[in-house]
Amino acid sequence: MKLYYSPLACSLADHIALLEAGVPFERESVDLKTKRTASGADFNDLTCKGYVPALVLDSGEILTENIAVLDWLAMQYPALGVPGKLGRTRLLEALAFVSTEVHRNFKPMWHASSEAEKAQAKATISRLLNLLADGIEGDYLFGAAPSVADFYLFVMLLWAERFDVRLPAPFVALRRKMASRPAVQAAMLHEGLIGTKDRQAPARPDPEGAELQLTR
């Protein structure tokens, strides 16, 4: 299995999921502006969609679309899913909300947009996160253990931190709790999002291929 990712992009959710699952996998970063992978390959040859995440299965088949990739991972590694009769449906419901509502509304923040558009986006994201937080069932969305939906949400919460989006209290706590997990730290370290005592985090990555250079 091989994950194509870009630092701090939504593919960080899949990166975390694979490390949480504890399975062997390969990973290669993609420059979203040039569409070149770290080894110099043309990412568009792998997927004409040109965006991450892309997960190449051992069969050679390629999965794209975060909802599908994260759902597939939760099906393979049930500890990353949600138990119960409606578990998978609730998981898909949360993944769809994070993807099609929250993630989508971050677009103006990453791209050259007017201040008014950004302010509007911030207010919308805050409202959406409040809606989601109203249904939280424990430390994580579905109780005491995180699912792939929490991993995707965590990426959105990192973006919220970067853009100063107001968060509901349960999500401030969720972000802190997620950030303390060894798999999350390992993924963030690998993506250069956090440093160690000996290694500084590099300049901030620009996951959406935006023209803006953002400061942490």
Work out whether 32 is an interface residue with ligand GSH (CB under 6 A): yes
Nearer to ligand GSH by C-beta: 34 or 200? 34
DSSP conformational letter for 205 = P
Distances (CA, A) of 157 to 19, 31, 161, 199: 19, 22, 6, 24
What minimum distance in Å lies between the beta carbon of 212 and ligand GSH?
14
- Please list, in sequence order, all residues whose beta carbon lies within 8 angstroms of the beta carbon of residue 132, skipping any fewer than 6 positions away: 94, 97, 98, 102, 141, 153, 171
Contact string (CB under 6 A) for ligand GSH, positions 33-62, x = contact: -----------------xxx----------
- Main-chain phi, psi angles of 167, to 5 degrees: -110, 145
Distance CA(147)–CA(98), nearest Å, equals 13
Nearer to ligand GSH, 69 or 183 (CB): 69
From 118, 189, 209, 214, residue interacting with ligand GSH (rule: CB under 6 A): 209
CA-based nearest residue to 178, from 201, 199, 157, 200? 157
Q: Report the residue closest to ligand GSH, judged by CB.
A: 51
Q: How far is the CB of 48 from ligand GSH (least distance, A)?
A: 12
Q: Segment near ligand GSH (CB under 6 A), from 84-92, 131-139, 174-182, 205-213?
A: 205-213
Q: Which residue has the tokens 């449906």?
A: 89
Cis before residue 53, ω within 30 degrees of 0? yes
Neighbours of 195 (CB within 10 A): 12
Q: In the numeric block, which tokens belong to residue 70?
A: 């994260």
At residue 175, what is the residue type?
R
The residue among 53 and 146 lying less far from ligand GSH, judged by its C-beta, is 53
In whole angstroms, how close is the CB of 143 to ligand GSH at the nearest point? 25
Site string for ligand GSH, 83-122 (x = CB under 6 A): ----------------x-----------------------
Question: Out of 10, 102, 156, 187, which residue is the one contacting ligand GSH (CB under 6 A)?
Answer: 10
The residues of the shown chain that bind ligand GSH, judged by CB under 6 A, are 9-10, 32, 50-52, 65-66, 99, 207-209
